[in-house]
Copies of this chain bind each other. A is one copy, B any other.
């Protein structure tokens, strides 16, 4: 990806065309390029096995979509929640988390995030439920940090409110509990990237089947009629071809990401306590690499720019500062400052370069600059 930077923030780790070619030849011989073809079916089967092997998914069903955004939107539509009802989402997330709620005819209600995990927590969700009714909650695996499935499963059981997890960036890291529904992204910039694509994983087979039907206009059964209003959000054969190669490359891809993470954790030892990482970093490999330098985000971005190193302010500004979302209601109605953690984080979070093509020298240089600004 050609940018004016010497060190890019994010470089996809996708297979070379020659590796994909045998699958493309198969696709071409089948003359089947979309609409749930043989490669898509095989990729879904391989993903099911992958999630069982890597992430403890048992008794789960898997469906592919054109993107995580469309997958999450169609899952919400398939849940057939009352029109306009409240859905809890964190204020610090990629905007799509709230956009899909609006597109599904529901009302996103914005909640603060936890100061340590930078995610919507069950404690925050419980506080929201004490103030208002919710039809669903969408916790987010922020920056690829896996959410705690066991805790959210218990939350769903206790409250009776369906939990659907926007774990877009956490494929491979996220443990799976069959009581919950997960939405993953296969976008090129994600750790498990194919180009464009998304994934629903759930023990609820009816939900998966209906969501898939909605990705094909809402056609159901052999009669060729539309049973519920859908759209075109089908995952194409080409992306399944890339996905079949990515499944085989996963250990290699993860290994490269682990090495970059290890190098960062070593390099950041020198910066001291003024720089904070997302809670648990190291127990998981994140999708992107935000550091929290309280009040100094702009200074760090400026210093990196000066050195021709690209940074990204992932998930910022918070949702309530996007013109299209500024009208949305807040979960905490009993205070004038409903987003204390989000307000702090917005002034300190900076995404550092994090991809397989960084050299040890790159990472050392980046850590030195972080130390310089944080000092």
Contact = CB atoms under 8 A, between A and B. Distances in A.
B234 A196 contact: yes
B232 A70 contact: yes
Q: How many copies does the complex hold?
A: 2
Nearest to A321: B225
A251 interface: no
A325 interface: yes
B17 A24 contact: yes
Contacts of A232: 66-70, 96, 196
Contacts of A17: 21, 24-25, 27-28
Name the residue among A2, A321, A324 with the largest chain B CB count within 10 angstroms. A324
Interface in A32-81: 32-35, 66-70, 73
B323 A195 contact: no
B66 A66 contact: yes
A99 B231 contact: yes
Interface stretch (A8-16, A150-158, A269-277): A8-16
A28 B325 CA distance: 36
A17 B225 CA distance: 34
A226 interface: yes
Contacts of A281: none
A96 B34 CA distance: 17
B1 A32 contact: yes
Contact of A229 (B28, B103, B230): B103
A193 interface: yes
Interface in A195-229: 195-196, 217-218, 224-229
A30 B14 contact: no
A317 interface: yes
A118 to B, nearest CB: 18
Nearest to A242: B238
Contacts of A32: 1-2, 188
Contacts of A238: 195, 238-239
Contact of A12 (B33, B66, B96): B33
Nearest to A20: B24
A345 interface: no
A119 interface: no
A236 interface: yes
A30 B16 contact: no
A18 to B, nearest CB: 8
Contact of A99 (B69, B217, B236): B217
Given A16-B28, A73-B231, A226 B95 contact: yes
B33 A231 contact: no
A28 to B, nearest CB: 6
7 contacts: A21-B21, A34-B196, A69-B217, A96-B231, A99-B217, A102-B229, A195-B238
Given A33-B193, A69-B217, 20 more contacts: A1-B30, A11-B31, A17-B28, A20-B24, A33-B188, A34-B187, A69-B231, A95-B226, A99-B226, A99-B230, A103-B103, A103-B231, A196-B232, A225-B317, A225-B321, A225-B324, A226-B323, A227-B324, A228-B324, A229-B324
Would you list the 9 A-B pairs with minimal beta carbon distance, nearest first? A17-B24, A69-B232, A33-B188, A67-B232, A226-B322, A226-B324, A33-B195, A196-B236, A1-B32
